[in-house]
Structures are given as C-alpha cells and as structure tokens.
Structure 1
C-alpha cells in the first residue's frame, strides 16, 4: 500500500502554473472583462468610432478568453491547453489597448495644436501604432513558438525569450510615448511651441472634457506601463521563476492593471469626451483648415506691415 502511494505521488502531474488558479479569481475577472468589453462595443457603435472595435474591444475579448482559460485550469489543473491559451492571450491582449491610447492622444494633439508636439498628430499615430504592431507580431511569434515547444515536450524558453523581446520593445515605445505626451501637455500649458513653429489657433481649447480625456489617458497608460514592466521582469525571471509561479503577482500587477485601464476608458469614453465620429473628422479637416487659414492671415498681416 505504501509503495502504491509512492508511485501515485511520483507520477502525479505537476501544475504548469506552479499553483492552482483560484476559481473565484477567474470568475471575477471574466465578469469584469465581459462587462467592460460589452460596454465598449455598445459605446463604439453608438459613437461610430469603429476603430475602437479593433483595439479596445479586441483587447477585452482576448483578456476574456485568457481569464476564461485560467478559470478552466482551476477545475482541471493538469491540462496544458488552457495554460497555453492564457499565456498567449493575456500577454498579447494589452497591445491593441495601447494602440487605442496612441490614436486618442493623436486626436487631442490635432485639437490643441500640433506646434506643441515633436511629432505631428498624424505621424504620432503612425509611428507609435506601427511600434505597437511590431511588438504584437514579435510577441505572437514567441507565443506560437512556446506553444509548439510545449506540445512537443521541448523547452519553451526560446519562445519565452522572443515574447520577452516583444514586451521590452513595447515598454520602450510606451516610455517614449509618455515622455512625448508629457512634453506636449507642458508646452501647451506654458504656450511654448517647438522650434519657432507658428502659434496657430485650431478653434479648440483645453476644456473640462479634454482635461478628463488627458487624465484618463495618463491613468490608463500608467496601468499598462506597470503591467508591461511586470511582464518583463516575470519572463526575465524564467518559466520556473518565483514571479511567474506566484498568483497574487499576476492578479495585482497584470489582471487588475488592465481592468483599470479598460474601465477608465468606459467611464471617460472618447466618444463622450471628444465627440462621435463626425466631430473627429471635423477636428482633423476643419480645425486643420482653420489653423492653416490663421497662419496665412498672420503671414499676410506681417507682409502688410512691412509694406
């Protein structure tokens, strides 16, 4: 009998997590992400800001799948499939959410004045969204490699290192984004255009709604930034490291951070604070035309004075 117990213990599979995910934690985050994602879908349709479906809503769906997989694991810890699903989805999910932040800040720059930003609103969106897509591709390739390795009973470390590279790249991009966004806001507040650029008026001002949008972007970006560096340290510590095998670190530093980042955008939705799709188009074309007209009028006025 004693020998049978030893054999049973010897051949009992070990949890790939290093712990058993709590079912109540899985249920909690499935509910939180489901509610936020549904709200974002309704808000995107109502405001006709369709790009939100491919960014924030997509992020919510991926988080929902990931935490659903963790809930699955809480009932059967020895199946590899949900473990691999949650690794890939929870690492990739915040990437489209970051892209949404880049687009929103670009819109704010359009409205408050591109002379205060080192990059134009158009290039700001192009550069940082491109960086986000590159980070997504690198992480996806790493996740696929790790998944294939585990299924073939090989080491997932090479795939993990690739994912780590993608997260580090994304963290660096977010760092530059935060620095440039902070500089833009400070230059606007102190009315300090960059490099002698003409101080043109766009017809928009830093009203209460725009302030709310900037505060929401700052809070959301901070949450995502904390989560990115947590994931960096986690993967650098290794698949068998203490960090990745401790549930509370993941819950607080990853899941909770992304919940905050998504819910703040429900509360401070760009469709409510910056207006629906027609207002976004007007700010990009109408406001830009007004700014050009103001610049031309200033130039003409200067020529008249010289004459």
Structure 2
C-alpha cells in the first residue's frame, strides 16, 4: 500500500502492516529495527543446547526440581529467540513479536526458581544452624514471590494491550504495572542474594574456625570439596547475571513501549540476551547432580561421610529433598 492510497486516519500497526513497506517503516515497530538474524540464531542455539544439557543431566542425576525449572526456562528462551529470528525477516510479524515478548519475559523467572532451590539444599548439606531460616522456607518464600512478579507483569501487559493506541492513560497504567512487577523481581532477587551471601559468610567463618561439631563434620567435607566450590561460584555468577538483566529491564521499560532504550539492540543483546545465556550455560554445565550431588533424589545421605548418621537423620534429609 503506497502512502498516497492510505485511508484517512490510517496509522501503521501490527494489525495494519503485514510487512515493511513505504507506509509501514520499521521505525514504527515497537523494536524500531530489524533484529540481527545471526546473533539471534546463535542465541537460540545456545539456549537450545543449554536445555538439552540441563534435561539430560537432570534425568541422569535425578535433580528433578532444579532441572525442570531451569530446563523449562532455557527452552522458553530458545523459543523467544526463534521469534526474534523471524522478526529479522519481518519486524511487523505480530505473532513472532508476541512470542518473543512472552517467552523472553517468562524464561528468566523459571531459571531463578532453580537458583532458589540450590540454597535450600546448600543449607541442608552444610549446617542448618547457620541459616536465618529453616531450609524448607527458602523455596516456600521465594518461588511464589518470583511467580507473583511474573503475574504482576502479565497483568500490566494485559492492561497495556487492552488500551490500544487511543487510551494513553490506560496504557500508562499498564506500563506502570509492568514496571512494578520488574522492580518487585529485583527486590526478591536482592533479598535472596542477601540471605545466600549471609549464610555463606557465616558458614565459611564456622568451618574455618577449626571448632566444627561432630554432627557437622559431613558439612565440613562438603565445604572443602572442589566441585562444591565450583558449583557455588557458578551459582553466584549466574545470580549476578540474572540480577543485571532485571535491572536493565527496569531501565528498558521506564520510558514505555518503543522508547529509545528498548529500540537499542546492542544494549538488549548484552544486558538481556547474553546475561540470561551466561546464567543458563553456568546452570547447565555446573549441574548440581555432578557438582553438588546432595541435590539429587538418588543421593544417599550417608555418602557425605557423616560419622554419626542415623535412620532419623536419613528421614530428615529425605524430607528436605525436592
């Protein structure tokens, strides 16, 4: 459709523009650019590979809760970047745009759930008395809190979508709700990081004191294990990457849909795409079933060489395992 033949009041949108043309310039899309096809193919393959590694190791080592959450998150990210690959050919592809928005927002939320589960098992394996909370409370508190962040963002997205282009005030309400969900997610991640850091600091101080009680000798063995230390560092870097991504999302959404930050692809690729990819690769490669077997459902509580292990201890450990 040429600019001269457009009906009065017509404006470019995902409903009126089937593809980029003279009247449907790419600058009018929400992204405002043709996504880089090569980069997005690379990202889709990276997330796809992370999905396969996570699921294969999860089934092999029987780390069900962690592997389901992280594997699903990686898979959603893969789908989201397939959507961006399609947008590289046609930025006005409404279905591809919706797919990438939903999948890329939802994916990291599920990946975060995997992180929340690791703290519970870390506390259980090392020394419960050093924790501010009982181990079972970590997933009970943080998993619903994380999901609630997603629900708030979804509600905001629904409000914004229902507003259309003719109700600016309603659109702003939707954007503010989305922002509230993102800020809440940063708060939840921050609280989790604070508790995890506090526990690891206290545990480190205890195990280095040289006065470890007999009932925590098994935890001391885990603490000095090189694989466990690699696992903790990997989880720490994954956490930092996800936190950076969430903070970037606040800046990205601060100006509403189609703002100059949202339309800057390099910042999106670095602070969103690669931050989440780094987290997913770390969680996949440094799988708990290999580097922290205490998270495995097939793990025997006696394998940590606790000298005073009893049947009641076994029952308690099994009850703590997700």
Compute the TM-score of the two structures, normalised by the length of structure 1. Answer: 0.83
Which stretch shifts more, 137-146 or 12-21?
137-146
Q: Contact 1:201–1:290 (CA<8 Å) still a contact in 2?
A: no
- The alignment covers a number of residue pairs equal to 283
Distance 1:34 1:90 in 2: 14
Q: Contact 1:200–1:291 (CA<8 Å) still a contact in 2?
A: no
Partner of 1:11: 23
Displacement, 1:81?
2.2
Q: Contact 1:139–1:167 (CA<8 Å) still a contact in 2?
A: yes
Distance 1:153 1:27 in 2: 36
Partner of 1:190: 205
In structure 2, relative to structure 1, the CA distance for the partners of 1:235 and 1:291 (3 Å cut) is: farther
CA deviations over 1:250-283 (Å, ceiling 9, x no partner): 1000000011001011221101012232227779
In structure 2, relative to structure 1, the CA distance for the partners of 1:33 and 1:241 (3 Å cut) is: same
Partner of 2:316: none
Partner of 1:247: 265
Q: Contact 2:55–2:68 (CA<8 Å) still a contact in 1?
A: no
Q: CA RMSD in A?
A: 2.9
Distance 1:128 1:287 in 2: 33
In structure 2, relative to structure 1, the CA distance for the partners of 1:20 and 1:131 (3 Å cut) is: same
In structure 2, relative to structure 1, the CA distance for the partners of 1:138 and 1:199 (3 Å cut) is: farther
Q: Contact 1:44–1:271 (CA<8 Å) still a contact in 2?
A: yes
Tell me if 1:68 matches 2:82: yes
Q: Contact 1:203–1:290 (CA<8 Å) still a contact in 2?
A: no
Distance 1:189 1:149 in 2: 53
Name structure 2 gaps, 5 residues minimum: 7-20, 208-212, 314-322
CA deviations over 1:123-182 (Å, ceiling 9, x no partner): 1221111211211222233334444545x8765543332222111111101111111111
2:280 to 218, 240, 262: 262
Distance 1:211 1:99 in 2: 21
Partner of 2:233: 215
In structure 2, relative to structure 1, the CA distance for the partners of 1:188 and 1:31 (3 Å cut) is: same
Name structure 1 gaps, 5 residues minimum: 193-197, 294-307
Partner of 2:116: 102
Which stretch shifts more, 248-257 or 174-183?
174-183
Displacement, 1:71?
0.7
Compute the TM-score of the two structures, normalised by the length of structure 2. Answer: 0.79
Distance 1:280 1:232 in 2: 43
Which stretch shifts more, 159-168 or 41-50?
159-168
Distance 1:144 1:17 in 2: 19
Give SS of 1:78's match: coil
Give SS of 1:182's match: helix
Displacement, 1:63?
0.5
Q: Contact 2:50–2:74 (CA<8 Å) still a contact in 1?
A: yes
Displacement, 1:6?
6.6
In structure 2, relative to structure 1, the CA distance for the partners of 1:153 and 1:5 (3 Å cut) is: closer
Partner of 2:195: 180
